[in-house]
Amino acid sequence: MTSKGGKESDALARAFGALVEGLTFYDLANVAVAEMRVKVAFEELGRHKKDQLSRLESVAGSGAKDVAVMPGIYPINVVAKVECYVCGFVAETRAMPNTCPNCGAARYAFEKEISLSKAWEIAAESGRKSATLFGESAAHTAGRAKAVLEELARDEEGQAVQADRQLAGLRT
Give the footprint of Zn ion on residues 91-130 (CB under 5 A). 100, 102-103, 105
One symbol per residue from 139 to 168: x for binding Zn ion (CB under 5 A), - otherwise; what is it?
------------------------------
Q: In terms of CB distance, is 20 or 86 closer to Zn ion? A: 86
One symbol per residue from 8 to 47: x for binding Zn ion (CB under 5 A), - otherwise; what is it?
----------------------------------------
Interface segment toward Zn ion; rule CB under 5 A; list 89-97, 114-122, 125-133, 158-166: 89-97
DSSP β-ladder status, 81-83 and 90-92: antiparallel
Rule CB under 5 A: choose which of 87, 106, 142, 168 binds Zn ion. Answer: 87
Q: How far is the CB of 99 from Zn ion (least distance, A)?
A: 9
CB 53 within 8 A of CB 4: no
Q: In terms of CB distance, is 70 or 86 closer to Zn ion? A: 86
> How many residues sit in the footprint of Zn ion (CB under 5 A)?
8
Q: Whose CA is closest to 74, among 126, 27, 114, 113?
A: 126
Q: How far apart are CA 159 and CA 152, in angstroms?
A: 10
Rule CB under 5 A: choose which of 78, 86, 96, 116 binds Zn ion. Answer: 86
Q: In a 10 Å sphere around its CB, with 0-12 CB exposed, 13-18 middle and 19+ buried, how is residue 9 labelled?
A: middle
Q: In terms of CB distance, is 34 or 103 closer to Zn ion? A: 103
3-state secondary structure of 86: coil
Q: Count Cβ neighbours within 10 Å for each residue of 15-46 and write b for 16 or more, e otherwise.
A: bbbbbbbbbbbbbbbbbbbeeeebbebbeebb
Query: How far from the centroid of its chain's Cα atoms is residue 109's Cα?
Result: 25
Q: Where on the chain is the footprint of Zn ion (CB under 5 A)?
A: 84, 86-87, 89, 100, 102-103, 105
